[in-house]
Amino acid sequence: MTETDSHITDENREAVELIQLVSFSIGEEEFGVDITRVQEIIKRTDVTTVPNAPHFVEGVMNLRGRVIPVINLRARLGMERKEFDADTRIVVVELSEGTIGFIVDAVSEVLRIPADAIEPPPPVMGGVEGQYITAVVKLEETILVQLDLEKVFENKKKAAVR
């Protein structure tokens, strides 16, 4: 197979749509977000605590003159917190409500995935955490969960301003 721009062409010359995701890990789980939402990925930096903020809001940070809220994605998804280390990153994304940063254990890579490898989440993934899942991606050795950032952080503005 040869690659051309955002398509793969096979022997039959049929184009296959590719989706680009930034993959990251939280614990043993692999997640992905649409690359078009990601502004940048930075090492953990100083974050100023916001009084009376929800448990998942780490605080705010100054990113080149812009103050943006920083969310601990582990806490937001109901996972146990852990100490930050050399692999900890803040993924800065643009949402409809504005720019936000979220803390992950590590950023893995940018994946170019054929659209046919992406499936809707199984119905059993309902509930609060299930509402944050856009799709599941079948990779060679693992399954990656694609997050709907708008839903994950829809209340972040209210929470960060409290």
* Number of Cα atoms under 13 Å in the Cβ half of residue 42: 16
Give the H/E segment covering residue 129. Answer: helix 127-130
What does the block give as tokens for 107?
A: 């950023």
| Total-model pTM | 0.79
53 vs 128: CA distance, rounded Å: 20
Query: Could you read off the pLDDT of 40-88 as tens digits, one per residue?
Result: 999 988 899 999 999 899 999 999 899 999 999 999 988 888 999 999 9
Query: For residue 6, is pLDDT > 80?
Result: no
Query: What local confidence, expressed as pLDDT, does residue 19 receive?
Result: 87
Query: Position 68: which residue type?
Result: I
Query: What local confidence, expressed as pLDDT, does residue 157 receive?
Result: 46
Q: How many domains does the chain have?
A: 1
Query: Could you read off the pLDDT of 95-145 as tens digits, one per residue?
Result: 988 999 999 999 999 999 888 888 888 776 554 456 788 888 888 788 888
Q: How confident is the model at residue 160 (pLDDT cuts 50, 70, 90)?
A: very low
Domain hosting residue 56, numbered range: 2-161
Longest Cα separation, the chain: 60
Average pLDDT over residues 22-34: 91
Residue 102 bridge partners (DSSP): 71, 91
Q: Are 46 and 37 in contact (CB under 8 A)?
A: no
123 vs 120: CA distance, rounded Å: 9
Query: For residue 91, is pLDDT > 80?
Result: yes
Query: What local confidence, expressed as pLDDT, does residue 153 receive?
Result: 83
Q: For residue 96, what is the domain's CATH number?
A: 2.40.50.180
Q: Are 15 and 5 in contact (CB under 8 A)?
A: no
Among 57, 32, 61, 64, residue whose Cα is nearest residue 47: 61
Give the H/E segment covering residue 112. Answer: strand 106-114
**Which is more confidently placed, 156 or 50?**
50
